Amino acid sequence: MMMEKPKTVIGVDLDGVCADFYDRMREIASEWFECPLEGLPREVSYGLSEWGVTGKSQYESLHRFAVTQRELFKTMPMIPGARKYLRLLSDDGYRIRIITHRLFIHYFHASAVQQTVEWLDSHGIPYWDLCFMKEKEQVGADIYVEDTADNILQLREKGLYTICFANSTNRHVAGPRAETWQEVYELVKAFR
């Protein structure tokens, strides 16, 4: 009996990598702060201080409103190429493992999980596993695709191959970097 070769596991973040978190959150923040959308810059740093978010408590209030009242996780646009290139990778035999830390604010986990599954299914994103967790290194992926600078640095410090999906919050993070999903695909295919 022949043993099947283990599949390469790709740990893929959602917000800022597959789903355009900042674009949708900008629309919601415009409503929350009652200011024109044009007044909120597209280029932001982690924490959204450029939009007037002044701390963790205010960010959590905005985030709670976004998820519970505006279905943030269900209504974000897809980052171009995510579906196409994840499907190509899946067809090539890679195992897609979605890893997200969407449960960091208490008391609306059911909504967050439901919206996440609905978003993935409605956008046709292929995946074998769906993990809701902060410590992403614990999912045992061979390759990670991530946009949060702290997560990237933590994964890399543990010797894990991590592709930085580029945006305005992680400009200071060294390569490997990808500006597009096509670049992610090429980096994954070149790995090993």
Do 98 and 130 form a contact (C-beta atoms < 8 A)?
Answer: yes
3-state secondary structure string, 76-94? Answer: CCECCCHHHHHHHHHHCCC
**Annotated catalytic residue: which of 15, 20, 142, 147?**
15
State the DSSP string of 14-30: -BTTTB-HHHHHHHHHH
Could you confirm whether 13 is annotated as catalytic? yes
- Angle between the 82-91 and 181-190 helix axes, to the nearest 10 degrees? 20
Find how far residue 8's CA is from the centre of its chain: 20
Q: Kindly give, in sequence order, each residue whose CB lies less than 8 Å from that of residue 130, ignoring residues fewer than 6 positions away.
A: 97, 98, 100, 116, 117, 120
Q: What is the DSSP code (8-state) at residue 191?
A: -
**Annotated catalytic residue: which of 13, 20, 142, 147?**
13
Neighbours of 188 (CB within 10 A): 23
Active site residues: 13, 15
